[in-house]
Amino acid sequence: GQQVMQIPQYQHVQEGEDFTTYCNSSTTLSNIQWYKQRPGGHPVFLIQLVKSGEVKKQKRLTFQFGEAKKNSSLHITATQTTDVGTYFCAGHRDSNYQLIWGAGTKLIIKP
């Protein structure tokens, strides 16, 4: 079946360093969504990208959707302790099908 692979599983960074997580789908997606789950919390919707090659920014977060609509990335510039958590990508095969989830990337800030 269709899968969304997300890497890395974990990333340890010093505060102030950048962080990137990548998602790759085996087939074309109609959209990609990103969620953040704080430790002990639940996933919270961050953003959706729909267009091929689309780039969106939210303050220090930059989201990209690949030209072929099969991959996506989330980049955080100058991480802060508030960025700690697990970032999930998820995509739709089509608008009538439920989300297909990546396994998440856990961002850990080194003390």
Partner 1 sequence: GAGVSQSPSNKVTEKGKDVELRCDPISGHTALYWYRQSLGQGLEFLIYFQGNSAPDKSGLPSDRFSAERTGGSVSTLTIQRTQQEDSAVYLCASSLAPSGYYYGYTFGSGTRLTVV
Contacts 24+ apart (CB under 8 A), 64-68: 65/31, 65/32, 68/28
Of these, 49, 76, 88, 107, which contacts partner 1 (CB under 8 A)? 88
- Region at 25 (left for phi over 0; alpha for psi -120 to 50; beta for the rest): beta
**Cα–Cα dist 97/92, whole Å:** 6
Site string for partner 1, 38-67 (x = CB under 8 A): ---xxxxx--x-------------------
Among 19, 25, 29, 33, binds partner 1 (CB under 8 A): 33
User: Using CB under 8 A as the criterion, which residues of the chain lie in contact with partner 1 when the complex forms?
Assistant: 30-31, 33, 35, 41-45, 48, 88, 92, 95-99, 101-104, 106
